[in-house]
A and B are shown apart, each in its own frame.
Chain A
């Protein structure tokens, strides 16, 4: 049975809360599991599942600390991810030139390894101090109708 796996990479915790809200929204209608990218083993990527990736941006357009272990594992183990489908939701702040670039780093690597991104690349801009949660839930709703 296909599971919707929510992977979050966070620095200050916002992406974690988005992941929790997505899970709460989707549970009941589908099988959902949530992982901090720090706790996710690259060997567990499964073409049977669909991945919702939520990732913030840290500092100067870098990956958030929580995404670094997974990114490094992808680099060193170079798993073949062909057949893996995922959707991406990036958090950032457009006050900075590096808006939302953290998620793009992980997105590029997943694509290079053969995974296929589907649907709209979701983004939230925190420049007005708003929380990304509602926008992310709406994004996931629209996206999951299609996949």
Chain B
């Protein structure tokens, strides 16, 4: 029997409407906000509460998108409407799995959706790079990673959070130096490249904190190598990301021509190849002009970026801090090469941290069906937490739509019924611990 409640429509007519579902969403990043949006469309009067461990909402949109990509960040304006117009409640500063358990949420809410994403940087599993982050993969046999991690190795997630002012990150002790190696060939690697080529004024203009601007400007950045194992045809970055680089002033883009024309059997992605070849051609034309008209080294065009394709990182050398990154060729034909660098930025993917307060596996059972985001009765997952670290923000919108449809179908099938108290049913005294800020609304 469904609980029913009296509701009025336009103050004129009293009808018995079916009671509405109460929904808790854990994580206010894109997946959490999109799933709230689609559930609100389905159930206009349900109670929807989005919890986040941070005080401010939007997760990856706020902390994981490069600050100059204002178009991508603008999706936050869409999400604002959830809280301003659609009656969705934001409860920040509240960590599920620490302040409130998932089970407590499930007792209080008819539906619980986990949307905490995957934020840990996948680390390079090579000598010199072992670090205090959890390991994503098992090591290849014989790999020597027993030594301490060298200072000067930074994951893309950490760097992007730092630049975006994430409260868990600090610029204390962060040294990038003037020669940086970026390992990775996806759009995140290109984001890093762009961020480290911004002037201090630009960084400040995008709201980057002074201590972070100073950490980047301290080098100052003179040369960046961007290296990955794939050929140009197979590199994952989008052509538009490469074309965007052409607008950066005072930098020359370089590559070894022999690495650009690989004997790849795959059909060439001509848009991507053209984008990079145009960038390199424009840089060489500009330097020819520089050479003819401007011999003043202080003009600032002495910054260089070199793309490398087909190289696998083998080890990082240094005493306490990074001094060099050694690569072997991916095809095994050429030997190896050594880059003298001050820091190494990795952009090779994300995974679920072992110490994450909400771990998907802990909620999986024989009853789960991850293909549709179902973990158990009334418990669902969405976005990267559901399907792994692939796909952009729009892909997570598609994912959220699918999971919202699954939740609706489960409700229609009578898998769960409205009736739980929702937010008012949470045992809030656990939140009044003096060491923690009280949860607060947006």
Contacts and interface: CB of A to CB of B under 8 A. Distances in A.
A65 B402 CA distance: 14
A64 B398 CA distance: 12
B397 A60 contact: no
Contact of A98 (B73, B74, B240): B240
Interface string A92-109: 010111100000000000
Interface residues of B, number: 20
A126 B71 contact: yes
Given A12-B397, A93-B71, A128-B70, A60 B239 contact: yes
Given A12-B75, A60-B239, A60-B271, A129 B394 contact: no
Given A11-B394, A13-B78, A60-B271, A129 B34 contact: no
A143 interface: no
B98 interface: no
A14 B78 contact: yes
Contacts of B37: 13
Contacts of A60: 238-240, 271
Contacts of A65: 394, 398
Contact of B394 (A12, A17, A97): A12
Q: Per DSSP, are chain B's interface residues mostly helix, strand or loop, or mixed?
A: helix
Given A12-B393, A17-B81, A129 B243 contact: no
A131 B394 contact: no
Contact of A13 (B70, B71, B75, B238): B75
A59 interface: yes
Given A17-B81, A98-B240, A58 B74 contact: no
Interface of A is mostly: loop
Nearest to A126: B71
Contacts of A127: 70-71
Most buried by B among A65, A128, A129: A129
Contacts, number: 51
Contacts of A93: 71
Contacts of B244: 95-96
B77 interface: yes
B78 A129 contact: no
Contact of B74 (A59, A97, A130): A130
Nearest to A125: B71
Contacts of B75: 12-14
A58 B239 contact: no
Interface in A120-140: 126-131
Q: Which of A11, A13, A14, A65 has the most CB of B within 10 A?
A: A13
User: Taking each of B34, B74, B243, which has the highest tally of chain A beta carbons within 10 Å of its own beta carbon?
Assistant: B74
Interface of B: 34, 37, 70-71, 73-75, 77-78, 81, 238-240, 243-244, 271, 393-394, 397-398
Per CB-CB distance, the 7 closest pairs between chain A and chain B, nearest first, are: A129-B70, A93-B71, A11-B394, A129-B74, A126-B71, A12-B394, A131-B77
10 contacts: A13-B34, A13-B37, A13-B397, A17-B81, A60-B239, A64-B394, A65-B398, A97-B243, A127-B71, A130-B77
Interface of A: 11-14, 17, 58-60, 64-65, 93, 95-98, 126-131
